[in-house]
Amino acid sequence: MYKNKFLNESLYFLLSIFLILFSSEVFGKSISKADRKILSAAISGNQRLAQKALKQGASIHAKDPRQFFLGETPLHKAVFNNDVSFVRFLLGKGADPNLSDDRGETPLITAVYGLSLESVLALLDAKADPYLETKSGISPAVLAADLCSLPILKLLKNAGVDFNRPTKKGFLPIYTAVAGCNREFIEFLVNSGSTIEAPTISGVTPLMHAIRCKNLDAIRFFMEKNVSVSSVDKHGRDALYHLLGFQQELGTITSDTYSRHLTSKDIKAITIYLIEQGTPLDREYKDGRTALFYC
């Protein structure tokens, strides 16, 4: 065990030296030598090298010019490595926790991606804005819900994040969570103020989405809460359609989300619930069919 640890530390040290010696080739000539040095320091976790780079005029917000790294700053790199000591060092030197890379990804979103609790907490303590989104419309709360990370969601709640605030593209944590998270996670969101029947821009409710993704934990939770079944999406489809008719639209989709299965007993129980809650059986969908066609 100790031998392996020694070998790992030796390899890490050699990598650091390699990056420093060849940083000009690695980072190219579009940034200064000092900026290359602080980016190398962030990759290797070398605070002494970072201090030296700053004294030589390096920008705390130097951006990695390489195409693959999309303008990451030293803070992005430290967060990606979950090097909390280096994260705090950079923040103490004035690093902006809200400076995004070329994808619009802030260090906080990077930390959530990596499930790095300590880095998330350090960034929130440094006033990282939890509402900043990527260019694709992903916020820290929506991402935490997508990853079903209850510890991170709790940190965001403690920071005062409003789970009912949609992203610019209309995403909500509750909608994302019902695709695959367990009952405890969904219950936490609802108890934290998430609107249980909030539809997306396209009119799909959390219940519809849970049914579409066959998340029985979420479906049962909504049934126990007697959620409304009166809503229809922008195509005029209700929850019953998403239960019985949506499968015909999937075609050859084989993702994990859609490869789950509901038993005939589950489908029967959900169908009865939807009918008892007032879903009309004679409602025509856009294709002219009713729910009875899919039974």
Task: Report yes or no on 84 lying in a domain.
Answer: yes
CA–CA distance, 16 with 6 (Å, rounded to integer): 15
Overall average pLDDT of the 288-293 stretch: 66
Q: What is the mean pLDDT of the chain?
A: 86
Task: Report yes or no on 113 lying in a domain.
Answer: yes
CA–CA distance, 104 with 85 (Å, rounded to integer): 24
| pLDDT tens per residue across span 231-270 | 999 988 899 988 987 655 544 334 444 446 788 899 999 9
**Taking the alpha carbons of 10, 12, 14, 20 in that order, is the dihedral positive or negative?**
negative
Overall average pLDDT of the 151-177 stretch: 96
Nearest to 101 by CA among 127, 126, 125, 136: 136
Q: What is the pLDDT of residue 21?
A: 45
Which segment of 65-74, 137-146, 226-235, 276-285 scores lowest on mean pLDDT?
276-285
Structural domain tally of the chain?
1
Task: Report yes or no on 263 lying in a domain.
Answer: no
Task: Report yes or no on 270 lying in a domain.
Answer: no
Task: Report yes or no on 247 lying in a domain.
Answer: no
Task: Report yes or no on 70 lying in a domain.
Answer: yes
Please say if the pLDDT value at position 44 is more than 80. Answer: yes
Task: Report yes or no on 100 lying in a domain.
Answer: yes
Note down the domain range covering 72.
13-129
CA–CA distance, 17 with 49 (Å, rounded to integer): 11
Task: Report yes or no on 221 lying in a domain.
Answer: no
Overall average pLDDT of the 165-178 stretch: 94
% the chain with pLDDT above 90: 66
CATH code at position 56: 1.25.40.20
